Amino acid sequence: MRELTSEALLADVRRWVEIESPTQDAAAVNRVADHAEAELRGVGATIERIAGTDGFADILLGRVAGDAAGPGILLLGHMDTVHPVGTLAGPLPFRIEGERAYGPGIYDMKGGNAIAIAALKQLHATGRRPCLPVTVMLIPDEEAGSPSSRARIEAEAARHAIVLVAEPSGEGGRLTVARHGIARFHLRTIGRPAHAGAYHEKGRSAIREMAHQVLAIEAMTNYGRTIVLNVGTIAGGTHENMVPLACEACVYVLVPTVEAEEEVHGKLLALQPVDLDVRLEMRRGLFRPPYGKTRAIQALYDHAASLARDLAFPVAGERIAGGGSDGNFTGSLGVPTLDGLGVIGDGPHTHEEHLLIPCLVPRTALWVRLFETLDPSLVAEAQPAGSSVAM
């Protein structure tokens, strides 16, 4: 890709999008890995593919040499989406409407993956290399909280000077300089089964109890403190003519600090059943720790904003993001992390997911300039080694 054009970049994005890859379908996600591996081999990357575990697909790493040696840039992306196979043929086909391109995962985050790798392709095609070595790390299970990938992400981040995350830009093109934490809790209610017709009064419904608990849990939301609790999934019962013995729910929790997560955890553990004949079991699940903006992250943001100032889509500002990403893991370790460098658009996780086509060339050009100009001195001067003091 010697020249960056909207047509060529959109074709790149489309190839990613048309490989459907819901997290739970390891074979489907691995087909995305196959495509990404071919792209990275085309720019001379050394490939490492780590076999999937726990039912998830592979982790893919592509290492690209830089002009300088030493710790380089870790480019983080994920290959999975929330959209089931068949979404392309049904409610969200790839299509172009005016300046918008639609498709499952096009915004979150296949568009970002495509343009970041397109920047490496452009450097390669024009005989240039990044200033620092670049490791492209593509994750198979980010939408599930990266349970099989977290340890690998943290190990890679510790070997790099800078982390860039190709998650989508929010709020019309803002870059992410900090993220809130994301916790998951699993609640199980255990009641007493009975025939719903002949002996209904002898039963104790786990589903009815769960309904009470959902109201109590979501009432803990405090928007003013950026604490949000959402019961996202529920499953219970076995037959409609049976008082349900068990019900399970997953609670998704947004918190600004580790201390807030501990506070919420304590409140959830303190929940009491409305029906005293029903038992509650609460289990703590995955937690993406929050991270704050450091001086080094500020330096990364300022540098990126300066590079983008003369582009058609200058950076629209900085933001603290509510949704989690794998940048939570790297940022909370104190590794300077700039997130939200992907495409501009809207509608993540919906049937209106889209990107803005005019952003493709300037955002890819920004990636090219970042690869050409970033060096460890930028963050070393802003944040001495070992420091992770938030501003």
> What torsion, rounded to 10 degrees, do the Cα atoms 81, 83, 86, 88 define?
-80
Res 383: pLDDT: 59
DSSP 8-state code for residue 358: G
Instruction: Please tell me whether the overall predicted TM-score, pTM, comes out greater than 0.85 for this model.
Output: yes
Q: Which domains does the chain have, with CATH numbers?
A: 6-180+290-382 (3.40.630.10), 185-288 (3.30.70.360)
Res 310: pLDDT: 87
Res 390: pLDDT: 39
Res 1: pLDDT: 75
Res 213: pLDDT: 98
Q: What are phi and psi of 145, to 5 degrees?
A: 100, 10
Res 386: pLDDT: 46
Res 389: pLDDT: 35
**Mean pLDDT for back-to-back runs of 10 residues, the chain (391 residues):** 93 98 98 98 98 98 95 97 98 98 98 98 97 98 96 98 96 96 97 97 98 98 97 97 98 96 97 98 96 96 96 93 94 97 97 98 98 90 49 37
Q: Where are the alpha helices (DSSP H) in the chain?
A: 6-17, 26-41, 111-125, 150-158, 206-218, 258-269, 295-308, 327-332, 360-373, 376-382
Distance CA 320, CA 117 (A): 25
Closest CA to 387 of 292, 290, 287: 292
For residue 339 the two structure tokens come to: 């997130």
